[in-house]
Amino acid sequence: MNKKLIISSITILIVATLFSWRTATQNVDNLTFSKSELLGKIKPANNAAFTKVDSEYILGDRTIYLRKEVFRAFTKMYDSAKTCGIELKLISGFRSFEHQQRIWEGKWNGKIAATGLNFSDPNLTDLKKAQIILNYSSMPGISRHHWGTDIDIIDLNPKYFETTKGKKAYSWLKTNAKNFGFCQPYTAFDSIRSSGFWEEKWHWSYFPISDLMLKDYQRLIKYSDISGFKGCWTADSLKVIENYVFNISADCK
């Protein structure tokens, strides 16, 4: 190869590298999300950013969609956990506004049981009812599951994580999830996070994207956007954006 050819090959390589680096950086910097994406008002089956999760990663017979990048990171974490004898099977991923509305209104109407909610309590007001449901269930419009970045895995019962198997899985996640980009937004209450959603050892979030979505949520979403379902008026009174959406563990901020 002559000198000229070598020099021009190196130049092409440098330019190509710089260009791809710049494009990648721009992609991250420019990644912004619409109100519809932040509120779960999209159809993941028709959205190029999403993928349908293979059934081998799912617990039972469910259809789950996640953002493609989230799924890629999850499969790496799943494979790594598996080598330690831990199965991080998915129970939930993306949930639409309408899906969350069905859960919320089911609990609001008493058709779905909500821990701690007693309809025969004469002092049960709408505000109290919303607060009790909010311990474990999100209002439509304030769920991180709308984003396609958050997953529920293994078991939704807090008691499972007190068993030997449950403790082993959670301990593995506490040590290793961050290496795959995942954080636990709803940790046990402490001096930093003393209210909001109760601890969920099964709920993990893909930080590189959910962090950007949280920032866009802060910029774009108002209380007037959290509407269109039973008891939605309580959202503003309970300041759910401040007290729930932003009330997350330091690991996810």
**Interface with Zn ion by CB under 5 A: which residues?**
152, 203
Q: Which is nearer to Zn ion, 67 or 203 (CB)?
A: 203
> What are the residue ranges of helices labelled H in 2-96?
3-29, 35-38, 68-82
Parallel/antiparallel/unpaired status of strands 90-92 and 150-153: antiparallel
CB of residue 138 vs Zn ion: minimum separation in angstroms?
8
Of residues 13 and 240, the one with the C-beta less far from Zn ion: 240
Complex with Zn ion: residue 58 or 85, whichever CB lies closer? 58
Rounded to a whole number of angstroms, the minimum distance from the CB of residue 111 to Zn ion is 20
Looking at the Cβ atoms of 152 and 155, the one nearer to Zn ion is 152
Cβ distance to Zn ion smaller for residue 92 or 234 = 92
Contact, 242 vs 142, CB < 8 A? no
User: Judged by CB, which is closer to Zn ion: 137, or 234?
Assistant: 137
Question: CB 125 → Zn ion: shortest distance, Å?
Answer: 27
Q: Tell the smallest beta-carbon distance from residue 136 to Zn ion (Å).
A: 9
In the complex, the smallest distance separating the C-beta of residue 139 from Zn ion, rounded to whole angstroms, is 14
**Phi and psi angles of residue 91, each rounded to the nearest 5 degrees, phi first:** -110, -30
| Residue type, position 15, single letter | V
Buried b (16+ CB within 10 A) or exposed e, 225-236: bbeebbbbebbe
Residue of this chain nearest to Zn ion (CB atom)? 203
Q: Do 226 and 172 touch, CB atoms closer than 8 A?
A: no
List Cβ neighbours of 229 (8 Å cut-off, separation of 6 or more).
101, 104, 105, 139, 140
Q: Where are the beta strands (DSSP E) in the chain?
A: 50-52, 65-67, 90-92, 150-153, 182-183, 203-206
Least Å distance, CB 34 to Zn ion, is 22
